[in-house]
């Protein structure tokens, strides 16, 4: 398990956890890949970068069943700022009756920003989202240009 605190809260939180014997702290310098990931995330959340991560084919696609991989690949083709319904994804895969299975594949998504399942909605609502509907709404608002998020503080 990992818990992340803002830089200004970190020392107090670590002291509290140490006093209770809950933590072993490994203090290490940030690796360049972590720093690059943080910058990409900040740019994505600020709305200044349209893709959080792009790697084709993504190694994250290999984490699912053959059907899930097909669904995730189709979802990965939804352009930034646009949505598709579960039924539209099912139809693109060749069977409009697979909408519920598409929803289950979305729920099994191993990395929501790389495979942008937040762009998949129900025909009459937002549908679901493993991160919660408030986060789905916020991601869609960012992509629509109406809900930029302040970047996370640098550490």
Question: pLDDT tens digits for 39-90?
Answer: 777 777 777 766 665 545 556 667 789 999 999 989 988 988 899 999 999 9
Domains within the chain, CATH numbers bracketed = 7-45 (no CATH), 59-144 (1.10.10.10)
CA distance 30 to 48: 24
> Across-strand partners of 121?
85
Give 98-109 pLDDT, tens digit per residue.
999 999 999 998
Catalytic residue among 37, 106, 111, 117: 117
Catalytic residue check, 117? yes
- Cα 72–chain centre separation: 13
Query: pTM here?
Result: 0.65
- How far is the CA of 4 from the CAs of 13, 14, 16, 148, 151, in angstroms? 10, 10, 14, 22, 15
Report which of residues 57 and 96 the model is more confident about. 96
**3-state secondary structure string, 78-147?**
CCCCCCEEHHHHHHHCCCHHHHHHHHHHHHCCCCCCCCCHHHEECCCCCCCCCCCHHHHHHHHHHHHCCC
Q: Name the average pLDDT for the chain.
A: 77
What residues does 84 pair with on adjacent strands? 120
């Amino acid at each position: 398990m990992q818990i992340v605190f803002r830089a200004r809260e970190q020392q107090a939180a670590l002291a509290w956890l140490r006093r209770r014997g809950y933590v072993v702290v490994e203090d290490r310098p940030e690796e360049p890949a972590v720093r690059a990931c943080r910058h990409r995330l900040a740019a994505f959340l600020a709305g200044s970068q349209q893709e959080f991560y792009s790697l084709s084919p993504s190694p994250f696609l290999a984490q699912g069943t053959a059907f899930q991989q097909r669904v995730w690949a189709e979802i990965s083709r939804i352009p930034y700022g646009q949505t598709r319904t579960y039924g539209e994804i099912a139809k693109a895969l060749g069977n409009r009756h697979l909408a519920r299975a598409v929803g289950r594949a979305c729920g099994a998504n191993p990395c929501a920003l790389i495979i942008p399942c937040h762009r998949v909605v129900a025909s009459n609502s937002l549908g679901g989202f493993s991160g919660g509907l408030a986060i789905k709404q916020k991601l869609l608002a960012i992509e629509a240009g109406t809900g930029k998020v302040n970047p996370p503080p640098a550490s």
